Chains A and B, each alone.
Chain A
């Protein structure tokens, strides 16, 4: 058991060193990659790994007669999490989310440190030592804090009163609520009940199950299923409509939304935000087909009031495409990304 702990401790020490070197640019930032598609779980596993090895290191130091003071354990752990969130995860996490994560981490560390009386006493001790100023060192430290903390607060206050030239933060509503119905080319579509007329089985009837079985496999490759190739000249029905939707997509949409539908088309980076990434589970995978139909038809200019600040330049495609063409494009987007449209049955 002790051997295992030593191995864990050493592995942890190496991992921390590698992480620090990556952060400071002494090792390439992609030395240990965050693998696309698996990043959310990878991040959790990494954090769990670090918690495990920190415990092993703490245990071994304790056994060796060099216990790490509780207070510094807590402070070091908070610092580690803040650094991890800022420098390890990419693309960078916005400050607002890091602030939330950091606050919860501080609360968690407080709960850990004050979980029982002994830990709480150990945690408080260095703080009480400084406040009591029983030794010359602590007295100096207390004086330092007495001078330093007001200066720090003054600095914060001063900064907060400085004129700020940064762009203001935006709370952009990614999915504004759609209207109950929408009128396209003179026909009214009720968003709650309308269906994609091309999502059909070989008998020509609307069939979610059948069409869901034909979409590409999810995962890193997004591979086509063997018997579901829309570009097979013999493809009929649903797959034929997907192909037609694909043709329309590549004639009109891919310049912005990209040929992988990940929002990184030729013109994408001319916009901020860049166009929607359909391969992300937070976009079309969360919505009904009718929602996409409405957004494509009406474009950025048709966003409702709650869609402030209306940061979308997508044209209202109803001015360029027929209703059928829009439905086929929507069909293709779901097929290509391997997502299923939201339904309520």
Chain B
């Protein structure tokens, strides 16, 4: 076949695949949609995979007693609507090997490990295709052919890394299900009975995701030009839509466990699967996880680039991986900035759902874990700033900004210190006595939300300022209003700082419900700095005079360690937050519906949890290093050509595909 015919064939195959994939979700949802009236009418009880026989017996017996046309109605624990009971009650478990099989090891820890590893890989493989989509699109729309090629190569590098990780995710998913089935059969049976109407959607989505990712990866070379390239990038959109729906379905399980809905007080399914999915915490969880995945994915790819940079033997390789690390870090940080706000929303919804759950998290039993979380968030922002300061070093003309680093450090550190000040202080009884009570007149004020909101917003605004300095590092604005623009930006940032700090202080003098709302103007101030100042800076720097080239590869090794630190902190924080989110249910499998009667239904000590999280982090990094290594095995050396470096331009890819 000639080249043209082959291309046509590929076009038809790709178009067919696209249409099929776009129609797939609708087709998959059909059975669910069609089954809804049946469910509402009382049919289709979700019994498959249900609780053990002896648990199901009383319910069956009850059902047998009332056999006949009579339908039993139940009241939704969350939506307070009435629905026809169509499921068995949540099993009442007991501490024995039938409900909780024993394997001479703490089952919860095994499950924790399996779950966390699956989540790490799942997050990574959901995030990376989003990067690829953005970068590939940038490559397509770039007018500079050389830059377009570089972006394309970068997107390809990203997807290559995620492909092996994708297989591992699937393997870990299988292990997770087996772990659940083996160690917590009653609980898993109940959950899968509740989610039965969408279980097949979940499975089919996974198949669709696999199919798309493989076509997307293996079709890269074949679909690199013209319409085919557009189809290729559209495929990444489909891939990400499927991935996001998949994640949202998975989130509905944990949302249900934390804040159940769609069931009555006994845990009986009431026939409305949308209620079961759309629980009080589902949407905040979705938003938080999408942003978190992106930031995490950026961090991991940046760490990969840093690792390759440190192992590089040539300037060309160093330049390429320096650039790759920078792009990955920029994407990661772009999603890190809104992450605390999404987290704040989630916590607000948790408080609104159950006060005691909120207090357990942030004021009670788990409060110290939140201090550790604040520390990790601080480390992330400090590392990002540090990396950008180091990156100023590879630009000529950026020296003028470096002298202000010490003041930036001071502002960041003060914000950080307030952000991590605990409300519940660890102290000896002697220190408690010397302090004259549980409340310290300084620390007590720093330890509450009003001050902490101020602290984190100051940190983020400073990060935005650092980023703007980086963007104008080697440039000198040539617009006629440059001086006015600089003054305006300076005043804008100063007003932003004053507003954030003032609102933080004002928060002590107003009712709590208003104080919670104060986070909105604080966030708006920070985001205004991010969007308006970045945009204004972009306009000011259009056609700017270049003071010197960006010398890719000529960056300190400390910057690369900062990237590795960034990724490790992301990983650790994800492990920590997963643990906090899960353990806030205390002794419930499903909050207030299904009690955890296993011998492990207690809250671990902070020390044990920290060790376990560290082990998970270590395991993930060891295995992901293996994935990175696998990625390098297939690399063929590109033929060495004499290249003339172009100042300020991103370096040529070091490898071919």
Which residues does A use to contact B, with CB under 8 Å? 34, 36, 39-41, 43-44, 47-48, 51, 55, 89, 91-97, 100-101, 104-105, 107-108, 111-112, 114-117, 120, 166-180, 191-192, 208, 212, 218, 263-264, 272-277, 280-283, 285-286, 288, 291, 306, 340-345
Contacts and interface: CB of A to CB of B under 8 A. Distances in A.
A174 B363 contact: yes
A116 B434 contact: no
B440 A91 contact: yes
Nearest to B562: A111
A272 B432 contact: yes
B393 A101 contact: no
Chain B binding site: helix, strand, loop or mixed by DSSP?
Answer: helix
A96 B464 CA distance: 32
A218 B505 CA distance: 13
Contacts of B34: none
Interface stretch (B56-64, B90-98, B116-124, B506-514): B506-514
Given A166-B430, A170-B428, A343-B512, A277 B364 contact: no
21 contacts: A40-B441, A43-B442, A94-B426, A97-B443, A100-B417, A107-B382, A116-B393, A120-B556, A120-B558, A172-B438, A174-B363, A176-B364, A176-B365, A177-B359, A177-B360, A178-B356, A280-B441, A283-B439, A306-B364, A340-B511, A343-B512
B356 A180 contact: yes
A191 B355 contact: yes
Given A94-B431, A286-B512, A175 B437 contact: no
Contact of A171 (B368, B409, B450): B368
A14 B438 CA distance: 35
B554 to A, nearest CB: 10
Interface of B: 351-352, 354-357, 359-360, 363-365, 367-368, 375, 378, 382, 385-386, 389-390, 392-393, 399, 402, 405-407, 409-410, 412-414, 416-417, 420-448, 450-451, 505, 508-513, 556, 558, 592, 603, 606
Given A39-B441, A89-B442, A282-B444, A177 B365 contact: yes
A264 B437 CA distance: 9
Contacts of B513: 342-345
Given A104-B417, A104-B420, A341-B512, A112 B355 contact: no
Given A97-B422, A107-B382, A178-B355, A115 B409 contact: yes
A281 B365 contact: no
Given A97-B443, A291-B359, A345-B513, 7 more contacts: A115-B406, A171-B424, A174-B438, A177-B355, A177-B364, A218-B509, A264-B437
A176 B359 contact: yes
B252 to A, nearest CB: 24
Nearest to B434: A92
A48 B405 CA distance: 15
Contacts of B382: 107, 111
A167 B356 CA distance: 31
B367 A55 contact: no
Contacts of B606: 171
Contacts of A179: 356
A45 B7 CA distance: 69
B167 to A, nearest CB: 38
Contact of A177 (B357, B389, B420, B592): B357
A166 B428 contact: yes
A34 B445 CA distance: 14
Contacts of A192: 354-355
Contacts of B378: 104
A273 B393 CA distance: 52
A44 B421 CA distance: 14
A282 B423 contact: yes
Contacts of B505: 41
A115 B405 contact: yes
Given A276-B438, A280-B444, A175 B409 contact: no
B352 A344 contact: yes
A169 B409 contact: no
A243 to B, nearest CB: 22
A274 B436 contact: yes
Given A115-B389, A281-B448, A286 B437 contact: no
Nearest to B514: A340
Contacts of B444: 280-282
Nearest to A103: B375
Contacts of A55: 406
Contact of B427 (A95, A281, A282): A95
A274 B446 CA distance: 21
A195 B364 CA distance: 23
A180 B356 CA distance: 7
A92 B441 CA distance: 10
A116 B402 contact: yes
A114 B386 CA distance: 9
A276 B368 CA distance: 20
B260 to A, nearest CB: 14
Contacts of A283: 439
A-B pairs, 3 with minimum CB distance: A340-B511, A115-B405, A342-B512
A93 B440 contact: yes
A40 B424 contact: no
Contact of B392 (A48, A114, A116): A116
Contacts of B447: 282
A167 B435 contact: no
Nearest to B385: A111
B505 to A, nearest CB: 7
A92 B556 CA distance: 41
A95 B434 CA distance: 12
Contact of B354 (A180, A275, A282, A340): A180
B363 A286 contact: yes
Contacts of A273: 432-433, 437-438
Given A40-B451, A108-B410, A342-B512, A277 B439 contact: yes
Nearest to A193: B355
Contacts of B451: 40
Contacts of A173: 363-365, 367, 424
A10 B437 CA distance: 39
Identify the interface centre among A174, A192, A291: most chain B CB within 10 Å of its CB. A174
Given A280-B439, A342-B513, A286 B448 contact: yes
Given A178-B356, A282-B444, A169 B365 contact: no
A111 B512 contact: no
Given A112-B409, A180-B354, A170 B364 contact: no
Given A115-B405, A176-B365, A344-B352, A104 B416 contact: yes
Contacts of A168: 428
A272 B363 contact: no
Nearest to A290: B355
Contacts of B392: 116
Contacts of B367: 173
Contacts of A286: 363, 448, 512
A208 B442 contact: no
Contacts of B428: 94, 166-170
Given A115-B406, A177-B357, A44 B414 contact: yes
Contacts of B430: 166-167
A166 B365 CA distance: 25
A105 B382 CA distance: 12
Identify the interface centre among A89, A97, A166, A276: most chain B CB within 10 Å of its CB. A97
